Amino acid sequence: MELVHSGKVRELYADGDDIIMVASDRVSVYDVVLPTPIPGKGRVLTQLSLWWFGQLGDVIPNHVISATDVPSEWAGRAIRCRRLEMLPVECIARGYLAGLGLASYRETGTISGVPLPPGLGEGSRLPGPVFTPTTKAAAGHDEPMTFSEVEALVGRPVAASIRRATLEVYRRGAELAARRGVIIADTKLEFGLLPDGTLVLADEVLTPDSSRFWLAAEWRPGGPQRSLDRQFLRDWSAGLDWDRRPPGPAIPDDVVAATQARYQELYARITGGD
Ligand code: PZK
């Protein structure tokens, strides 16, 4: 199959008219891919994404064709998908203040042009989820976009549709996760269009590679929150003499095992299965 895109932790192949999205066991910390894989990570994230696509089927159609009709070497961590015309916008919904949303709030009191009340801090819950789109930069970092810029890029009707769909997917996901003790602080979605113009949810959905997951029981607004999946890696790497630039350090066996267990726990907790 023809490799059409290689990301930090995933690959995209073309197979006739379809595409096959393959999740690897690679993991990144502070945006650097580490040389040691986390066995089973690609499978857990793929299965979690598939579970969410199923849960969200009544909110919006998705690109999944089959989770099983994939080459056997990728079984469990690949999805056959409809090839879409992808929209050039990273669709982010934020329900809590962290990352770039926090940085923007501190500078301007707004995120993506949406004014927020004073007095919020790192990890605070927002009065309501906010759509904070960014550009899809080919290289380097994504830049925040205003809603008007999204409208100019994709047209007003599609802009309104992706904002509505992004906030609805986030609301539904966050509500479901909350019932299981998990906070989804924010999430990044991608959408595409079918030839007939139908808007379709693509990429991966509500996985820890596209979202921030916190344990509700550990939530303490006013400082950085513990990442449900990656905290072991962050805590371990913080104790190293590493400047957070590539190449990243090899991960010791006990940290691999602990990280593996966290991904597995996250899946079981959210889906109620194992
Ligand atoms: C598509 N990406 C991002 C995902 C990567 C990169 N259904 C689709 N049709 C056409 N293109 C894409 C999709 C989807 N999803 C997704 N870029 C293009 C991406 C996974 C691995 F390396």
Q: How confident is the model at residue 141 (pLDDT cuts 50, 70, 90)?
A: confident
Distances (CA, A) of 108 to 6, 12, 22, 100, 111: 35, 38, 39, 12, 8
CA of 203 to the centre of ligand 1 (A): 6
Q: How confident is the model at residue 274 (pLDDT cuts 50, 70, 90)?
A: low
Beta bridge partners of 111: 114
15 Cβ below 6 A of ligand 1:
no
Closest ligand 1 atom, CA of 82? Answer: 7
205 Cβ below 6 A of ligand 1:
no
pTM metric for this prediction: 0.97
Task: Among 86, 142, 188, name the best residue to mutate to test ligand 1's pocket (greatest count of ligand atoms within 8 A of Cβ).
Answer: 86
Q: Residue for token digits 């790192």?
A: 122
CA of 69 to the centre of ligand 1 (A): 18
- DSSP 3-state of 198: coil
Mean pLDDT score, 183-189? 98
Mean pLDDT score, 230-235? 92
11 Cβ below 6 A of ligand 1:
yes
Query: In this predicted structure, what is the pLDDT of residue 146?
Result: 93
CA of 3 to the centre of ligand 1 (A): 11
Query: In this predicted structure, what is the pLDDT of residue 236?
Result: 95
192 Cβ below 6 A of ligand 1:
yes
Q: How confident is the model at residue 273 (pLDDT cuts 50, 70, 90)?
A: confident
Query: In this predicted structure, what is the pLDDT of residue 174?
Result: 98
Task: Among 9, 11, 15, 21, name the best residue to mutate to test ligand 1's pocket (greatest count of ligand atoms within 8 A of Cβ).
Answer: 21
The predicted-structure confidence for 53-80, as pLDDT tens digits, reads as follows 999 999 999 999 999 999 999 999 999 9
Distance separating alpha carbons of residues 213 and 272, to the nearest angstrom:
16
Task: Indicate if the pLDDT at residue 140 is higher than 80.
Answer: no
Task: Indicate if the pLDDT at residue 158 is higher than 70.
Answer: yes
Identity of the amino acid at 95: G
Closest ligand 1 atom, CA of 84? Answer: 9
